[in-house]
Amino acid sequence: MQKTKSVLKEIQKAFLSGVSFMMPAVVAGGLMLAISLATGEKTGGALKITNAFMLNINVLGKAAFAMMIPILAGYIAYSIAGKPGLAPGMIMGYIANNPVGENGAKSGFLGAMLLGVVVGYLVKWIKGFKVPKTVKTIMPILIIPTVSVFVVGVVYIYIIAEPLASLMNFLTVFLGNMNGTNKILLAICIGCMNAFDMGGPVTKSVSMFTLALMNEGIYEPNGMFRITVAIPPIGIFLATRLFKNKFNQGERDAGLAAGIMGCIGITEGAIPFAVSDFKRVIPSGMVGAAVGAIIGAIAGVKCYVPHGGFVVLPVVENKLWFVIAIIAGSLVTALMLGLLKPNIEKADN
């Protein structure tokens, strides 16, 4: 049981490591795509880029996005097995993000994450072999990459690719075509999960989910998510201004800092308040974030970059509703805190 927990913790750490190394490529690619798309003309419900220079910027953005999945898989394997796992992991990440087999199966993020873990543990196992000194020198540059890529690649192409691709296609089609109640349920889940741990593993899992859909050209879930990242800290800031009798001077000063962080899309600004008053701050943030995400879902807000807050407004579709969603969600959070928190002189904890 203890060993299973240790392995699960190692895999979770590997996922977080992969995401952190992937993010620079995502941010660079997302910003370049957003800048190029911002100059496009809307025809038939899509943005068409006509400027030659911006078309080249768009190519750079697409190149960065093409690299993000190989980087994710590579650094998941690297986190588990060290340097020898990096190249095989990246190769398998590339394979996961490109059609393979007779039916052109493509598993994307799900496949990359799975292959990164499998490659990592295979390489880690091979590294443990006791071999002669002459063989040991060529292990990391010849034997390990060749064996791991061949074994995992063949298993993936002939056994795993089709089921994973089918699952990914189902999720993409289902989420891409969601409307009405289903879309609102998705918005509630995104809002509540993001505000639950404010930048922790739960939030990162939602972020990876929205990035996976962005990779498939679906931007609405990312729009919902990028609304919610701003709401808990801005809501806390508003609460410290609207209900001054419920916060001491130190909390009011910290509230200003939290508000600024929220405006630039950093949810972690709310963490000090959550730590000191978990049972009131977390539910208030979750409800406010859910409200903001629902408004974004109904209005069809899309965000083309993996960041949130008011700073990404230039690269958001349906800008007015993006702003309204953040403000409305933040007000809900603030009002809930005002109702739930006792006055300072009456507070016992």
Q: Please tell me the pTM assigned to this model.
A: 0.67
DSSP letter (8 states) at residue 318: S
Whole-angstrom distance, CA of residue 94 vs CA of residue 67: 8
How many CB atoms lie under 10 A from the CB of residue 37?
Answer: 19
What single letter denotes the amino acid at residue 74? Answer: G
Contact 117, 76 (CB under 8 A): yes
Query: In the chain, which residues have pLDDT < 50?
Result: 44-45, 347-349
Residue 322: per-residue pLDDT:
97
Instruction: Name the percent of the chain lying above pLDDT 70.
Output: 89
What single letter denotes the amino acid at residue 277? Answer: D
> Which tokens sit at 314?
């230039």
pLDDT, tens digit, 9 for 90 and up, residues 243-278? 999 998 888 888 888 898 888 888 878 878 887 788
Whole-angstrom distance, CA of residue 186 vs CA of residue 327: 20
Contact 321, 296 (CB under 8 A): yes
DSSP letter (8 states) at residue 137: T
Which residue in 291, 292, 296 sits closest to 317, CA to CA?
A: 296
